[in-house]
Amino acid sequence: MLDIELLRSFVSVVDAGGFTRAGERVHRTQSTVSQQIRRLEESVGRPLLARDGKRATPTEEGERLLTYARRILALEQEARDVVARPVADGVVRLGLPEDFAAYRLVELLSDYVRGRPSLRLDVRSGLSATNRAALERGELDVALLKRRAGNGVCIASWPEQLQWVTSRRHPIDLTRDPVPLAVSEQGCLYRDSLIHALEAAGRTWHIAYTSPNLSGIQAAVAVGLGIAILPDVAVTPEHRIVDTKGFTPIVHTELALVVSETASPAARKVAELIADLCNTLRPSRAA
């Protein structure tokens, strides 16, 4: 385990450029700081600083550790702040699909949080499969998930309108084999649906572009690297909707709003806001 105090001294030496100034920053003598750096180097088994007179610069190993050290120290300070200043509303942990995280929902949540200084929002944007697992582990309070229709309990759901898209400037001919695909990582509902539809039609395919980010997939499709399945809200003017005659229709997918059984009143209020917005964007139905 890395010692927080040793990491703090290490970062101070790098930022100050030497041991004397670093000691002044952390209120220790130069010799004490030097001893701490030696202890840290012994702990990781690598030299972390190159010493040249009064100057000290990070070695290659030190540069790699420096990024992690800054993150560890920032998290340690954040934890202290949270404990020192307990809040009335607490923390609401929310999981969103990326295309919604980049849409009007973010603005709505920002407005809501600004009006409630005692509420801290922790939003995770990513694959629904990842957020579903986090919800089941108790790491999220509310999640808006993309899934097969009716696949589990939810407080509200909305049917999805999905589109096959290619590039408007460099369209891909769907009669060619193999069909190049621009998709997200394994576990993505759209990726699985696209591959299933192609294989059901007896077509071959290959992954031409993989990205964990919606923006990467949108860009890959726009320049003609591959076709993709996107929700209607993620189709841009650089895309062209593909005629999928002869392919199995991709239907029965939905957005589902799921709330943990242990969710706080603040979390349930956030869920209500999400449901209200989704009702204005998509046809609503009872879950």
On whether residue 265 sits in a domain, the answer given is yes
Mean pLDDT of 239-262: 87
Instruction: Identify whether residues 62 and 106 lie together within a single domain.
Output: no
On whether residue 55 sits in a domain, the answer given is yes
Instruction: Identify whether residues 58 and 8 lie together within a single domain.
Output: yes
On whether residue 79 sits in a domain, the answer given is yes
Q: What is the CATH number of the domain that holds 13?
A: 1.10.10.10
Among candidate residues 84, 114, 135, the one where a domain is terminated: 84
Q: What is the CATH number of the domain that holds 103?
A: 3.40.190.10
110 conformational bin, left if phi > 0, alpha if psi -120 to 50, beta if neither: alpha
Instruction: Identify whether residues 24 and 79 lie together within a single domain.
Output: yes
On whether residue 95 sits in a domain, the answer given is yes
Mean pLDDT, the chain, whole residue set: 86
Instruction: Identify whether residues 120 and 77 lie together within a single domain.
Output: no
List, for residues 79-116, the tens digit of each pLDDT value: 887 676 555 668 899 999 877 655 677 888 888 888 88
On whether residue 153 sits in a domain, the answer given is no
Instruction: Identify whether residues 66 and 98 lie together within a single domain.
Output: no
Residue 204: Cβ within 10 Å count: 10
| Cα(58)–Cα(176) distance, integer angstroms | 53
Instruction: Identify whether residues 50 and 101 lie together within a single domain.
Output: no
List, for residues 12-69, the tens digit of each pLDDT value: 888 888 877 777 777 788 888 888 889 999 999 989 988 887 788 889 999 999 989 9
Instruction: Identify whether residues 11 and 39 lie together within a single domain.
Output: yes
Range 109-118 contact pairs with CB under 8 angstroms and sequence separation of 24 or more? 109/270, 109/273, 112/270, 112/273, 116/89, 118/87, 118/88, 118/89
Instruction: Identify whether residues 134 and 8 lie together within a single domain.
Output: no
Instruction: Identify whether residues 79 and 107 lie together within a single domain.
Output: no
Torsion over CA: 140, 143, 147, 148 (sign): positive
Instruction: Identify whether residues 9 and 71 lie together within a single domain.
Output: yes
| Cα(87)–Cα(98) distance, integer angstroms | 28
The per-residue DSSP string of 208-253 comes to EEE-SSHHHHHHHHHTTS-BEEEEGGG--TTEEE---TTS-----E
Q: Which domain holds residue 113?
A: 90-144+258-281
Total domains present in the chain: 2
List, for residues 113-132, the tens digit of each pLDDT value: 888 878 888 999 888 888 99
Instruction: Identify whether residues 35 and 69 lie together within a single domain.
Output: yes
Instruction: Identify whether residues 18 and 56 lie together within a single domain.
Output: yes
Whether 89 and 117 have beta carbons less than 8 Å apart is answered as: no
On whether residue 126 sits in a domain, the answer given is yes
List, for residues 138-184, the tens digit of each pLDDT value: 999 999 999 988 888 899 998 888 899 999 999 998 888 899 999 99
Whether 128 and 254 have beta carbons less than 8 Å apart is answered as: no
